[in-house]
Structure 1
């Protein structure tokens, strides 16, 4: 592995994890979005990552969940249909929070690798200046 490979790989990890964190924050903000049954449900964003040939990672796509969502009985809701149902996103807050922790840990790990590599390079430059 070359001298700057760790920075490149960690940088790709930072970018992928930032995209994942952004998608999760969007999902969490909309986990309770209620729609009428004749409308599409909020569609959660799912980040699909893949490895690169150089050892890094990239976002292959940001997929969306089903527009069907889940029907919930809430007869007092202003958007409820005549049977008392509304449409909610097909996602759970607990799943989103679990993924949020994983994305945060991945981002932190990539940031730590970047910092360690920068410190190592600074030390090497300092030795060369003596």
Structure 2
């Protein structure tokens, strides 16, 4: 595996974690929204990742990365609250709130942030190795 592959792997990790951070931010932003119907209520979203292997011509693993397969809506039940005085209440007096758990979302955001930071550190270390190899080639 070459150092170029390491940079590519690191960049796919950063892209994946960026999607995760954006999705989590969207969930947090919509956590307190209210709707008058089940269908219109925001549902928490989560990205789905998969390992993506790249094969060399001699069947050796040339590199691996992260691929975002998509974003799925959570299947957790929505919060239904009886609030007949709320202007968003349906004809029975109920409002619908998203199935977003702020504590879980904050933990996910911290995890994604740390993973993003780790990928940056890998890329920086690889860049330093490139520089050192070039210096060795120049006789320094």
Q: TM over 0.5, yes or no? A: yes
Equivalent residues, number: 130
Name the TM-score, length of structure 1 as normaliser: 0.89
Q: Residues 19-76 of structure 1: CA distance to partner in whole angstroms, max 9, x if unpaired?
A: 1111111111111110113652102221000000132111011112359722123333
* Stretches of structure 2 lacking an aligned partner (at least 5 in a row): 55-63
Q: Residues 83-124 of structure 1: CA distance to partner in whole angstroms, max 9, x if unpaired?
A: 432001112111111111111111011111001001110111
CA RMSD of the aligned region, Å?
A: 1.9
Which whole-Å CA distance do the structure 2 matches of 1:3 and 1:71 have between them? Answer: 53
Q: Does 1:45 align with 2:45?
A: yes
Q: Pick from 94, 100, 111: which aligns with 2:103?
A: 94
* Stretches of structure 1 lacking an aligned partner (at least 5 in a row): none
Which whole-Å CA distance do the structure 2 matches of 1:72 and 1:117 have between them? Answer: 53
Shift of 1:6: 1.2
Find the counterpart in structure 1 of residue 137 from structure 2. 128
Helix, strand or coil at the partner of 2:13: helix
Summarize the alignment of residues 56-71 of structure 1 with structure 2, pairs less than 5 Å apart: 56-66=65-75, 69-71=78-80
